């Protein structure tokens, strides 16, 4: 893994049916990987050991590397809007990529 690559947290994808996307912030000389997630309020910055990083992180590109929709779950409504692009949540787009590029470096892919 290299600094700047976009990654999925594989454990969450398989166990919780949720796609968590982030950016590799650093890789130490010993192979420890630091990832900043697109949703820092839910998933704080994470560190992965050289032995676990290949099992838990998958490098992604294209649409897979885009941030996921950021659903506004604060409002008590059945179908929440995405805070990035405004589209309403449905079963079909719940885990889909958000096409709007965020202003943060994590969204510029």
What's the pLDDT tens digit per position in 52-90? Answer: 999 999 999 998 898 888 887 776 667 788 888 889 888
Assigned domain for 107 exists:
no
Q: What is the pLDDT of residue 47?
A: 95
Tally of CA atoms within 13 A in the half-sphere of 105 that contains its CB:
9
CATH number (domain holding residue 43): 2.30.30.40
In the predicted model, what is the mean pLDDT of the chain?
Answer: 83
Q: What is the pLDDT of residue 12?
A: 59
**β pairing state of 33-37 and 57-60:** unpaired
pTM above 0.85, yes or no: no
Residues 55 and 26 occupy one common structural domain: yes
Residues 26 and 78 occupy one common structural domain: no
Residues 48 and 89 occupy one common structural domain: no
Q: What is the pLDDT of residue 7?
A: 96
Residues 48 and 73 occupy one common structural domain: no
Assigned domain for 58 exists:
yes
Q: In this predicted model, what pLDDT tens digit does every residue of 19-28 receive, in sequence order?
A: 789 999 999 9
């Amino acid at each position: 893994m290299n600094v700047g690559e976009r990654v999925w947290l594989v454990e969450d994808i398989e166990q919780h049916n949720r796609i968590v996307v982030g950016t590799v912030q650093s890789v130490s000389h010993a192979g420890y990987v630091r990832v900043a997630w697109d949703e820092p309020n839910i998933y704080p910055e994470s560190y992965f050991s050289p032995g676990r990083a290949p099992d838990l992180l998958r490098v992604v590109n294209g649409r897979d590397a885009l941030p996921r929709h950021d659903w506004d779950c604060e409002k008590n409504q059945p179908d929440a809007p995405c805070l990035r692009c405004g589209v309403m949540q449905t079963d079909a787009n719940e885990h889909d990529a958000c096409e709007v590029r965020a202003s943060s470096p994590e969204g510029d892919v």
